[in-house]
Amino acid sequence: MLGNEQTIYIEGAPAELSRLPIPAGPLVVGLDGGIVRARRGTNGDLDRAPTMSATQIDAVLAAYGSPAAGQGRTFYDLGVRSGIDPAWALAFFVVESQAGTRGVARVTRGIGNIRCTAGYACVAGYRAYVSWADSITDWYMLMRTLYLDTWGRPAWPRSRPRLVVPSAPPRARH
């Protein structure tokens, strides 16, 4: 039994979000609009087994009306291949751009609004991609090679989950 659903709807700037308490536990992305939350024990673990299936990821993308709908298998397979829970990639996508429906991601096809660096096509200072699959691949590569393998961080520092975990669901489309 999972217990009663407890939702958090948060609006505001990142500076306001950073003052919120850190929820406990592993990342969970709900199918009811992409709410991202945590449970006690392993808050922030990036390199762990998947906590969502490709079908669940597709359901979240569809709930947002995401232009990347149908990419659940890509999120999942690349997560497994890189040893990163695909719920993290989805959480970034939801937080950064409401799953590609807001901001520069609508143009760049970027799931994580990664700053432009040499060798990449760029739009407004962010890496731009030919496809959502290219962006998903790049996000996992960056997290695996830089964050985990180079910096040696299996989990986000305490300051990062505050920005990732509480997330507002999409506004009603009536």
Over residues 48-76, the pLDDT tens digits come to 889 899 999 999 999 999 999 999 999 99
What pLDDT is attached to residue 15?
A: 53
* Mean pLDDT for the chain overall: 74
Q: Which residue shows structure tokens 């890496």?
A: 127
CA distance 59 to 84: 20
Q: Is residue 17 situated within a structural domain?
A: no
Cα 96 to chain centroid distance, Å, stands at: 8
Does residue 59 fall inside a structural domain?
A: yes
CA max distance for the chain: 49
Residue whose token pair is 């359901």: 59
Q: What are phi and psi of 93, to 5 degrees?
A: -60, -45
Residue ranges making up the domain that contains 49: 24-164
Nearest to residue 12, comparing CAs of 157, 115, 162? 162
> For residue 11, is it left (φ>0), alpha (ψ between -120 and 50) or beta?
beta
In a domain, 4, yes or no: no
Q: What is the pLDDT of residues 4-29, one digit of tens each?
A: 444 444 445 555 545 555 444 444 44
pLDDT at 81: 96
Domain count, the chain: 1
In the prediction, which pLDDT does 161 show?
34
The answer, yes or no, to whether residue 141 has pLDDT greater than 80, is yes
- CA dist 47 and 88 (Å) reads 10
Kindly state whether residue 9 falls inside one of the protein's structural domains. no
Residue 123, amino acid: V
pLDDT tens for 80-136 read 999 999 999 999 899 889 999 999 999 999 998 899 999 999 999 999 999 999 999
- Residue 147's SS3 state is helix
Domain CATH code at residue 51? 1.10.530
For 158, the 3-state DSSP assignment is coil
- Is 37 part of any domain? yes
- Does 138 map to a domain? yes
Residue 12 belongs to some domain of the structure: no
On whether residue 116 sits in a domain, the answer given is: yes
